[in-house]
Amino acid sequence: EDKVVQSPLSLVVHEGDTVTLNCSYEVTNFRSLLWYKQEKKAPTFLFMLTSSGIEKKSGRLSSILDKKELSSILNITATQTGDSAIYLCAVFRGLDAGGTSYGKLTFGQGTILTVHP
């Protein structure tokens, strides 16, 4: 069974700190990894990573995939209170033998980030 593990499960920092969130996976026929941010309701899409070693960046957030280590990290620099949220990691697998299970995302438990002023 596919497995996605995030660490730490929770993290408390102060504004201005830099944080690194981790995601590791065990997925048959891995295809891509996605990061989402969930504040109150809907998880919002951050990044989709398919190629190893290529950093994706959006403002103070960046992420990179390491296919050799079966993992990804999400970095947030100069954190702000608005970064407080649950950060979710999810993976797509490639086509299975039957060619049907290509749309499902497998999620990790999430990392709860709290940024204090």
Please report, as ranges, the residues that interact with another protein according to CB under 8 A. Answer: 4, 31-32, 34, 36, 40-45, 48, 88, 90, 92, 95, 99-110
CB of 96 to another protein, least distance (A): 10
Structure tokens that stand for 27 in this block: 């997925």
The gap between the terminal CA atoms of the chain, to the nearest Å, is: 41
CB of 77 to another protein, least distance (A): 23
Whether the Cβ atoms of residue 39 and residue 28 lie closer than 8 Å to each other: no
Q: Which helix (H) or strand (E) holds 24?
A: strand 19-26
Q: Which is nearer to another protein, 36 or 79 (CB)?
A: 36
Q: Which is nearer to another protein, 4 or 115 (CB)?
A: 4
Q: Which is nearer to another protein, 9 or 78 (CB)?
A: 9
CA distance 33 to 31: 7
Return the half-sphere exposure (C-beta side, CA atoms, 13 A cut-off) of residue 53. 1
CB of 85 to another protein, least distance (A): 13
Q: Which is nearer to another protein, 13 or 70 (CB)?
A: 70
